[in-house]
Structure 1
Amino acid sequence: MRFVQDIPHPHFRIGLYAWNSKYIVKIEAGPYEQTYKISEMDITEPDEVPAMLDDLFLERVANRFRDMDQDWQETGERNGVM
């Protein structure tokens, strides 16, 4: 996997990578990660990717991270780990 660029954001670490004819967007928050794959055939330049990360999309990403954290906490509690 080849690193292309960091995409600045105040709350998430966002990295853009290229691999196997796809662009891969990795969004990290604490111990959680979301990955999105985009075919290189769908985007002509990697500079187009940051424009796709609009406010609505990133708000949904944040909600998904909250859900992931809640799921993780709940399974830990159910199984006596946390």
Structure 2
Amino acid sequence: MRFVQDIPHARFRIGLYAWNGKYIVKIEAGPYEQTYKISEMDLTDPEAVPTLLDEPFLNRVEQRFLDMDTDWQATGDRNDAF
């Protein structure tokens, strides 16, 4: 996987990578990560990726991170893991 660029953001760590004919957007928050794969044929210019990460999209990403945390805590509680 080849690193292309960091995409600055106040709440998340966002990295853009290229691998196997795809651009990969990795969004991280704490221990959680979301990955989005975009075919290089669908996106000819990787510089366009930051415009795709608009506020409505990132608000849903944030909600998904909150849901991931809720699910992780719930399974920990059910299984006396932490």
Using the size of structure 2 for normalisation, the TM-score is 0.99
- 2:25: which partner in 1? 25
1:22, 1:44 → 2: CA distance?
A: 11
Kindly report which structure 2 residues correspond to 1:61-80, keeping only aligned pairs within 5 A, or say none: 61-80=61-80
Q: Could you report, residue by residue, the CA deviation over 1:27-69 in whole angstroms, capped at 9, with x for unpaired residues?
A: 0000000000000000110001110000000000000000000
Kindly report which structure 2 residues correspond to 1:13-52, keeping only aligned pairs within 5 A, or say none: 13-52=13-52
Question: What's the secondary structure of 1:35's corresponding residue?
Answer: strand
Q: Between Structure 1 and Structure 2, how many residues are aligned?
A: 82
2:56, 2:75 → 1: CA distance?
A: 29
1:31, 1:44 → 2: CA distance?
A: 31
Question: What's the secondary structure of 1:9's corresponding residue?
Answer: coil
Question: What's the secondary structure of 1:68's corresponding residue?
Answer: helix
Question: What's the secondary structure of 1:65's corresponding residue?
Answer: helix
Percent identity among equivalent residues? 74
1:44, 1:80 → 2: CA distance?
A: 48
Using the size of structure 1 for normalisation, the TM-score is 0.99
CA RMSD of aligned residues (A): 0.3
2:32, 2:6 → 1: CA distance?
A: 17
- Unaligned runs of 5+ residues in structure 1 are none
- Unaligned runs of 5+ residues in structure 2 are none
2:64, 2:14 → 1: CA distance?
A: 15
